[in-house]
Amino acid sequence: MLKRAALLGTIAIVSATAWTAAYRLTAFTRIVAAELERATALAELTPRPQTTIVYDRHGQLAFTFFVEQRIDVTLDQISPVMIQALLAVEDQRFFNHNGLDAVRIGAAAWRNIRARRIIQGGSTITQQLARAAHLSPKRTFERKLREAMIASRLEQRYSKREILEAYLNTVYFGEGLYGVEAASRGYFGKSASDLQVEEAALLAAIVRAPSHDAPGVSPARATARRNLVLRLMRDQGTLPEAEFATAAARPLPEGPRHGDLAGGSDPTNAVGAYFREDLRRQLVAQFGNERVLRGGLRVYSTYDPVLQKAAEQAIAGRITQIAKARRQAKDLQGSLVSVDAHTGDVLALVGGRDFASSSFNRATQARRQAGSAFKPILYAAALERGYSPATILTSLDAPIGTGSETWLPSGEHEASQYTIRRALQVSSNRAAAQLMQQIGTTTTIYYAQRLGIHSTLPVVPSLALGTGEVTLLELTAAYTAFANKGTASSPRLFTRVEGSDGTAIFHNVKRQTRALSEETAYMMSSMMADVISSGTATGVRAAGFKLPAAGKTGTTDDYSDAWFIGYTPRVVTGVWFGLDTPSPIMARGFGGTVAVPAWATFMKAATAGHKAEWFEMPSSVEKVAICRLSGARASPSCQHQYIPAEVPVGSMSVVTAGYPAVVQGLPPSEPPVYEEIFSVGALSSELCPLHSPQPPYGGIPGDPTTIATQPAASTTPMVDAELRRAGVRRERVIGSDGITRVVIRKNPH
């Protein structure tokens, strides 16, 4: 009975065990099937995040944008020694197995059994690719099973070359560098196609444990691992003994060269940080954040690294100089924009004194009052409306009506009248205000918009003095019209964008607008050249800048903003200084004092090697000798500084009989004749009525008959002033013969 019970118990136990085993086998089979199904889905060589590369204007690497610093390349673009080094240390039987290497697995299993834990994986390159692309790095038997299944599926689906190429573009090499191309550029500053054998051996050596073996972590371990790879290559017959000895003796690179890959290990401290960030914003707005950070775009920018460095040094140096003289200026900020006059390409962009402290870009984001740097826009609008550099603005000491009130601007250089040229040269506020009253505020704003000013400008009389708030970038771009024959060029930071495969996906063509006539641009350049030669920007020459140039200073109330926008025929550069919370920069901190020295310092570097060239005078512009007294075309007699006794208006004759003698000695403070430029046809062809010698008047000698006498209006207001100083007056006289004459008489004492 007991035997029977024991037998039944044994049968029950065996049955239960069998059923349990069958259940577990079924469950395991289901798990394996599920893993195989998952492995099939995962066994895809999907694109990994790619680094977007930005090239400078010379085609050299400047910046990168990335989630992972990776630059995919084909196997043919990788040095053969890199492939040999990798296979020597990671998978020497790569081309002979189907994803799993039985020899390596057996050896690794024996070591793991002896250690009673997993200390060696025995993974092939295919398995490592499966792990890097899809699995956790944690060492477990479950992960190893999945790894083997995915590797098997990869081998079925892809060729060995495809797997090897994907591996070399995927694995991590330390220092934030993914893939062999990024690693090669990051460590050695060269492409993976140019790797030398000792460099390739180092990269292959650190793949196993980059956080442990990278040269930046432990140079000693990195050297030992590199030399191990070199020995393996020698032993496997891919590296001759002599080359092995030479390669093993070479030192490691001094350190990761991130500057060659990403524009600096810390982008916030790198040269060009403001340019880089503004470019990133534009690219994200155009293509989206995902595509910029992961899409591997190739961006061809307008960035000039040499000029950028010079720009940053010019701004930082000037801030240091000012801060030494005025402690309160320790928080002074400065910005600079330099653009190609003909294309609008932004060559250098500085948005502040320190990007790491403040990423706010004062060149593109800050809107500040432009002061007198806005005046050239007003004067250009006047020239477009028929004014000329010789046009005289009078009654400048008369208040301007503004509704129920009157307004008379103050300034450093004010007089009762100026020519337009002189008014711009000395930056007269009253002349600017008077001129805008004549041409209209809306006309001024219209031309500002044509020149590329997109900021909203106030419709107020003080706009003539630059009370409208603009950015440095848009004001600098507006000046390109003066340097480019009246054509304004919109600023651009890049010219084209390509996909990671080199296919062009966007062309940022230059955008240009005919904003002014060619003759207006030429006359404005002529007038602004005077600003530098003898006006408010003479500091340009004092600072050592010698090339022909033009420009305009700008200063706002309380000296809280200092500007200078200047240009040569090739380069337009704008500079601004101020505090983020507007307050005086320094006592009498004019644009000519604060901003001009930085502009000159930068432009000496920006124009190095440029020839001394100036704008060719258009055929629609003529240069005319002008009599300073009359404002008319000068005659040869104007040089002799005398005025005939009387000049008949009808015949312009000099009267020699019956009228007072010649009045001598108008003492002009400047040469009596000067040259000025006009649009052809804008100035009358008649010669000066005061000095032109004419045939004698055929009247009766001694005939003093006068039918009527009345004061005569002068040809120009400047004549009135000179006549008053000389103690004479002009009268319009109608003689007995009916001819009206202009008579100059001495005033009674």
Which residues are designated catalytic? 90, 372
Nearest CA to 297 out of 491, 494, 490, 129 is that of 494
The DSSP 8-state label assigned to residue 268 in this structure reads T
Strand partners, 701: none
Pairing state between β 469-470 and 368-369? antiparallel
Collapsing DSSP to helix, strand or coil, 413 comes out as coil
Task: Give Cβ neighbours of residue 463 (< 8 Å, ≥ 6 apart).
Answer: 374, 436, 441, 444, 445, 457
Please state the φ and ψ torsions of residue 496, each to the nearest 5 degrees.
-160, 160
Residue 404 token pair:
């129920």
Distance between CA 337 and CA 29 in Å, rounded? 69
Cα dihedral value 527, 528, 533, 538, nearest 10: 140
531 and 429 in contact (C-beta within 8 Å)? no
Which residue has 């007003």 as its token pair? 378
Nearest CA to 606 out of 577, 578, 574, 576 is that of 574
Residue 200 token pair:
């390739």
The DSSP 8-state label assigned to residue 747 in this structure reads P
The DSSP 8-state label assigned to residue 661 in this structure reads P
Distance between CA 698 and CA 679 in Å, rounded? 38
Which H or E run contains 73? none
Task: Give Cβ neighbours of residue 107 (< 8 Å, ≥ 6 apart).
Answer: 120, 122
Instruction: Please classify residue 611 by burial: count the beta carbons closer than 10 Å to its beta carbon, then call 0-12 exposed, 13-18 middle and 19+ buried.
Output: exposed
Distance between CA 372 and CA 462 in Å, rounded? 11
Which H or E run contains 195? none
Q: How far is CA 721 from CA 292, 389, 392, 642, 667, in A?
A: 67, 20, 13, 16, 12
| Tally: H helices and E strands in the chain | 26, 28
Task: Give Cβ neighbours of residue 624 (< 8 Å, ≥ 6 apart).
Answer: 633, 675, 676, 677, 678, 683
Residue 124 token pair:
């092939």
229 and 239 in contact (C-beta within 8 Å)? no
- Concatenated DSSP letters for 366-404? --EE-GGGGHHHHHHHHHHTT--TTPEE--TTSPEEETT
Nearest CA to 739 out of 663, 655, 632 is that of 655
424 and 411 in contact (C-beta within 8 Å)? no
Collapsing DSSP to helix, strand or coil, 630 comes out as coil
